[in-house]
């Protein structure tokens, strides 16, 4: 290909118009005659970095270890091996205790032998494997929908789906506590955004009454179980508004599948409503199904569109076959052994009830797999986590900016495999240690303000 043909092809690929190109050339020529000077901040100058550095400094001043990124040895579930020691583990998404299930491991091993480690390409190009269709059919059956599609990341699922479906002429209304992945998807889409007060359908109705007529498409997003607070969305209230205002409803079931409903199918089973009343079912494969990735389930038209135009699907490698196989086996066990969901509910209710008896603030939790213990002070939350770790309990703090300062907490993930002894011991330790830390006024309030300000000035 000669140079002229090459340039012609490039211009056609870029869709450049002559007047646009002419304007670019003029601007380039003008810029060349001027002295252009600008400064680029170093990463150490960024306000975001300084915030992290200050948190690290405060922890050092109080002699606290960093509780994050501790490496686990081997598989983790209700227990974990860290640093050669065994811990009661309340930091795992393995809700139904399937991560080490022989059937799940065997199915993943067979897929590894049959398909290799990777799909090796985008599914659109050459990465489609028969096991992908099998998993998507299984998910569609769970949600009683026409079809489903899987993505290589749960976070990417929200980003790609929302970014594909919504645009600048549209409106997305979401619960104020929605997951960060949904917020990123909305930002990518360029859609207008509003939030309603947490689980408050009256506030959502107020927004719809004032804005519903101004937009071509409206999407409302809620979570089945809220991962930070452990409460359940008011699905009947959302569906009532959907009938009135005719918007798309998207439910994030990341922490609901395997948890809600008598057989663990999620929030639609919990409320005994038809799954078809929800337009978009979203979830992740990393919790109940002991894998990695995410999915959307819904109508055939929705799934066809996402497979053709969602960037996170079209331009990403296909889900690793072994991960797809693990998810398939987990879904099979979910169908066949509802007792696991019942055990999870029993354990979660036990944890919640005992925590309340010990005077712990469990916030909004309804006792379905996620139970927070609100501590308020971020530094106190970290210290509580560290002292529990020293006592043989692994649970992680959630601190600012993941939650507002004043709402810091420990977040306990309950599984069907936890024992009553583990639950009671953990709750008792938490109450005892937190009570002592409060008496000592341990936390931000005990910091040397002058020392903190001096350190801030150095950054």
Per-residue pLDDT tens over the stretch 344-373: 999 999 999 999 999 999 999 999 999 999
DSSP per-residue letters across 411-437: EEEP-TT--HHHHHHHHHHHHHHHHHH
Q: Which residues, other chains included, contact 455 with Cβ-Cβ below 8 Å and sequence gap of 6+?
A: 54, 57
Q: Which residue ranges of the chain lie beneath pLDDT 70? A: 1, 9-10, 13-35, 444-459
Confidence (pLDDT) at 278: 98
CA distance 44 to 62: 23
CA distance 235 to 255: 15
Residue 106's φ and ψ, nearest 5 degrees, are -65, -40
- In whole angstroms, how far apart are CA 417 and each of 100, 101, 257? 11, 12, 17
Confidence (pLDDT) at 276: 97
CA angle 150, 296, 307 (to 5 degrees): 60
Confidence (pLDDT) at 449: 47
User: What one-character DSSP code corresponds to residue 45?
Assistant: G
Per-residue pLDDT tens over the stretch 120-143: 999 999 999 999 999 999 999 999
Burial 345-375 (b: 16+ CB within 10 A, else e): bebbebbbebbeebebebeebbbbbbbbbbb
- The pTM for the full model equals 0.89
> The dihedral of CA 340, 341, 342, 345: what is its sign?
positive
CA distance 381 to 377: 6
Taking a C-beta distance cutoff of 8 angstroms, is the pair 64, 73 a contact?
A: no
Per-residue pLDDT tens over the stretch 299-319: 999 999 999 999 999 999 999
């Amino acid at each position: 290909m000669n140079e002229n043909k090459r340039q012609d092809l490039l211009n056609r690929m870029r869709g450049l118009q002559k007047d646009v190109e002419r304007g670019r050339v003029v601007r380039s020529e003008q810029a060349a005659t001027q002295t252009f000077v600008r400064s680029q901040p170093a990463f150490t100058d960024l306000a975001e970095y300084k915030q992290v550095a200050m948190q690290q400094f405060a922890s050092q001043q109080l002699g606290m270890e960093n509780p994050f990124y501790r490496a686990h040895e081997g598989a983790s579930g209700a227990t974990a091996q860290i640093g050669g020691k065994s811990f009661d583990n309340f930091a795992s998404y393995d809700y139904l205790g399937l991560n080490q299930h022989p059937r799940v491991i065997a199915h993943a091993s067979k897929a590894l032998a049959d398909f290799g480690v990777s799909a090796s390409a985008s599914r659109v190009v050459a990465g489609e494997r028969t096991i992908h269709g099998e998993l998507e059919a299984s998910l569609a059956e769970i949600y009683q929908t026409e079809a489903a599609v899987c993505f290589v990341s749960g976070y990417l699922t929200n980003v790609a789906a929302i970014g594909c479906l919504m645009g600048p002429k549209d409106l997305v209304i979401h619960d104020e506590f929605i997951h960060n992945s949904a917020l990123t998807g909305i930002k990518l889409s360029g859609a207008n955004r509003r939030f309603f007060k947490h689980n408050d359908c009256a506030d959502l109705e107020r927004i719809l009454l004032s804005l519903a007529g101004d937009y071509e498409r409206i999407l409302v997003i809620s979570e089945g179980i809220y991962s930070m607070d452990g409460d359940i969305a008011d699905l009947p209230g959302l569906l009532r508004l959907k009938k009135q205002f005719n918007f798309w409803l998207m439910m994030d079931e990341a922490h609901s599948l395997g948890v809600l409903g008598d057989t663990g199918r999620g929030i639609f089973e919990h409320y005994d409503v038809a799954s078809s009343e929800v337009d978009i079912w979203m979830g992740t494969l990393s919790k109940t199904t002991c894998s990695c990735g995410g999915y959307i389930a819904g109508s055939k038209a929705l799934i066809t569109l996402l497979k053709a135009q969602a960037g996170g699907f079209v331009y990403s490698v296909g889900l690793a076959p072994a991960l797809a196989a693990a998810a398939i086996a987990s879904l099979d066990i979910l169908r066949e052994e509802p007792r696991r969901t019942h055990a999870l509910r029993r354990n979660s209710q036990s944890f919640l009830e005992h925590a309340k008896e010990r005077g712990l603030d469990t916030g909004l939790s309804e006792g379905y797999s996620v139970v927070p213990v609100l501590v308020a002070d971020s530094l106190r939350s970290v210290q509580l986590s560290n002292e529990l770790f020293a006592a043989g309990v692994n649970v992680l703090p959630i601190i600012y900016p993941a939650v507002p300062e004043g709402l810091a907490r420990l977040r306990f993930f309950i599984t069907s495999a936890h024992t009553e002894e583990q639950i009671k011991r953990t709750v008792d330790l938490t109450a005892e240690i937190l009570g002592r830390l409060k008496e000592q006024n341990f936390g931000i309030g005990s910091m040397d303000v002058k020392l903190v300000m001096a350190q801030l000035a150095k950054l």
